[in-house]
């Protein structure tokens, strides 16, 4: 360490002190997300949630392959 800096007050400790100084941002975002999620009670989603797997795509490809087998 240079010039009396330690791991807590020097460059190595900066992420920890910055986290402590900026923690208020997490509280603000948490409140906004909570408010948005609460609206789902009065106004539920109108469509089914998205599916993030490829099963539907695989079935569609297999169906198209079966259609073109005889050609």
d(CA 71, CA 25): 61
Domain boundaries, the chain: 11-67
Residue 63, pLDDT above cutoff 90: yes
Provide the pLDDT for residue 32: 94
Tokens (6 digits) for 51: 């599916």
Cβ contact 6:13 at 8 Å: yes
Cβ contact 7:13 at 8 Å: yes
Cβ contact 62:56 at 8 Å: no
Provide the pLDDT for residue 33: 94
Cα 44 to the center of its chain, rounded Å = 21
d(CA 69, CA 50): 31
**pLDDT tens readout for residues 8-25:** 666 666 666 777 778 888
Proportion of the chain above pLDDT 90, given as a percent? 27
Proportion of the chain above pLDDT 70, given as a percent? 75
């Amino acid at each position: 360490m240079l010039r009396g800096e330690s791991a807590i007050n020097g460059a190595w400790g900066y992420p920890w002190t910055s986290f402590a100084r900026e923690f208020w941002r997490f509280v603000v975002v948490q409140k906004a997300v909570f408010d948005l999620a609460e609206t789902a009670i009065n106004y539920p989603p109108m469509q089914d949630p998205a599916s993030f797997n490829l099963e539907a795509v695989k079935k569609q490809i297999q169906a198209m392959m079966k259609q073109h087998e005889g050609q």
